[in-house]
Amino acid sequence: KAGVTQTPRYLIKTRGQQVTLSCSPISGHRSVSWYQQTPGQGLQFLFEYFSETQRNKGNFPGRFSGRQFSNSRSEMNVSTLELGDSALYLCASSFRTDNEQYFGPGTRLTVT
């Protein structure tokens, strides 16, 4: 079974720009969660989607948004990028919202 895929793997953007990251979950998984990982803050929960509905949201500003499509693929958007948004963005999928999560390889975002 194919794992979670994320595109792109690496991204360099400048302050003020916006970015869209994509995540394709494991086939059959309907829950997708997004995380931001930085050396200083560790793994921080962004949001979770299940069947195209946002179920939970972490403590991030409104510049961070996401959506999930009918095929369970998910996108995350960050508008008006700041230097502090530089991080590894991970998405994870699970069959249900209370199941173990399987992580994708992540998208490394660098904001200059």
Partner 1 sequence: QQPVQSPQAVILREGEDAVINCSSSKALYSVHWYRQKHGEAPVFLMILLKGGEQKGHEKISASFNEKKQQSSLYLTASQLSYSGTYFCGTEGETSGTYKYIFGTGTRLKVLA
Binding to partner 1 by residue 24, rule CB under 8 A? no
CB-CB contact of 106 with 5 (8 Å): no
Give me the least distance between CB of 14 and partner 1, in Å please.
25
The CB density around residue 97, as the number of other CB atoms within 10 Å, is: 15
Q: Which residues contact 15 (CB under 8 A, 6 or more apart)?
A: 81, 82, 83, 111, 112
Distances 79 to 8, 34, 54, 98, 104 between C-alpha atoms, Å: 17, 16, 18, 30, 22
Binding to partner 1 by residue 96, rule CB under 8 A? no
**Which of residues 23, 90, 109, 111 is near partner 1 by CB under 8 A?**
90
**Which of residues 1, 10, 100, 112 is near partner 1 by CB under 8 A?**
100
Query: Taking CB under 8 A as the rule, which mask of x and - marks residues 33-72 in contact with partner 1?
Result: x-x------xxxx--x------xxxxx-------------
Q: Could you list the residues that contact partner 1 (CB under 8 A)?
A: 33, 35, 42-45, 48, 55-59, 90, 92, 97-106
